Amino acid sequence: MLVTEKITVPVGFSFHEPDPKKTAWRKEESRLKKAGVAKQYRPKEPEADKNYPSKKALALNLLSDFMRIFPDFIVRAVAVDAYYGMQDFMEEAQRITKQRQIISQIRKNQLIVVNNKEIAVEEFFKNYQGHQEIVSLRGKDKKITYCSGKFKIKSHKKKYFVIALKYGDEEDYRYLIGQDMTWRDIDIIKAYAFRWLVEVFIQDWKSYEGWNQLAKQTGFDGSNRGVILSLLCDHALLLHSEQQCSLENKQPALTVGSLREKVMMESLKAFIEGIVMSDDPKAMFMQYSDKIAEIFDLQNSTKHLRNVDMQFLQPQHQLLDAHK
């Protein structure tokens, strides 16, 4: 997802397919652990299959593809969620994008080194009262509470900017790390907030643009086609006259949902206008009515159990006599 000062654009996609051998191994591993089987007697984890790359490998490939296809873009930061907050991923992402700032989230029990002592990040920051501030995150003012410091992460074996952060009236902190410690902590917080735009795009695709509920094909191919359809719809809506007007006048962009509803109303208006302005409105209306009726077929419901025999829901006399 590419976030610019004007628009946010999805620039790459990849679907993760779990390795069936590893999936079966994890299931069996869980069963044997619950049964108390010692590790030495449990099957070893299967080797990685190159036909089923991990999510981290797919993400790094997407970054590499972007940098290769768009070499003139200057990347200021990369923001990823906690799943990708591993040292090898962050260092490789830094190498690929040729810039220092990779921002991620870490677990609350992650160990940091303070005064040569190891302590869980949650345990350390609970002793400090956070600073409250109203900041603009993704174009909206939001109250946050945060505190920060520069500490060595034990598992990474290197120092990061570590930030404890709460949004609004949340009770629990989440913990961010930034590789480039020359940034201000508040700027790292603002940059990490852009990561949520990925979720906004996915929600738009699922709700309004053809992916998920409007999908006609399942599986890998169906997902690919759904995303392509969603992207075409998304780009078409960027070219809508009112969306263009907002962007050119530096006004907030319009939501996909409201644009979609407007397009539907414009289409309905044009449809009705075409009938009313025709030479024979009644004949044209009847013609369209018949064609619309052909499109919308009524389906049998599986909720209402018509023609299902319910007589079996009663005691059986022969079993009752046997019980006596």
Range of the domain at 271: 208-294
pLDDT confidence of residue 304: 73
Residue 146 pLDDT greater than 90, yes or no: yes
Together in a domain, 172 and 251 = no
Together in a domain, 269 and 133 = no
How high does pLDDT run on average in the chain? 87
**Domain-located, residue 203:** no
Beta pairing, strands 102-106 & 78-79: parallel
Together in a domain, 112 and 213 = no
Together in a domain, 220 and 248 = yes
pLDDT confidence of residue 101: 96
Question: By CB neighbour count within 10 A (0-12 exposed, 13-18 middle, 19+ buried), where does 74 fall?
Answer: exposed
Together in a domain, 92 and 137 = yes
**Domain-located, residue 132:** yes
CA-wise closest residue to 5 among 135, 202, 241, 194: 194
Positive or negative torsion for Cα 33, 36, 38, 41: negative
CA-wise closest residue to 177 among 275, 253, 108, 234: 108
**Domain-located, residue 23:** no
Task: Specify the residue for token string 């009663």.
Answer: 314
Give the number of other Cβ atoms within 10 Å of residue 294's Cβ.
Answer: 8
* CA-derived radius of gyration, the chain: 28
Residue 87 and residue 57 in contact, taking contact as beta carbons nearer than 8 Å: no
Q: How many independent structural domains does the chain possess?
A: 2
pLDDT tens for each residue of 297-314: 777 777 777 777 777 777
**Domain-located, residue 170:** yes
pLDDT tens for each residue of 37-94: 999 999 999 998 999 999 999 999 999 999 999 999 889 999 999 999 999 999 999 9
Q: In degrees to the nearest 10, what's the CA dihedral of 163, 168, 171, 175? A: -20
Together in a domain, 261 and 171 = no
pLDDT tens for each residue of 151-207: 999 999 999 999 999 998 888 999 999 999 999 999 999 999 999 888 888 887 777
pLDDT confidence of residue 13: 84
Q: Measured between alpha carbons, how far is 296 from 302 in angstroms, rounded to an integer?
A: 18
Cα distances (Å, whole numbers) of residue 76 to 32, 69, 286? 47, 17, 59
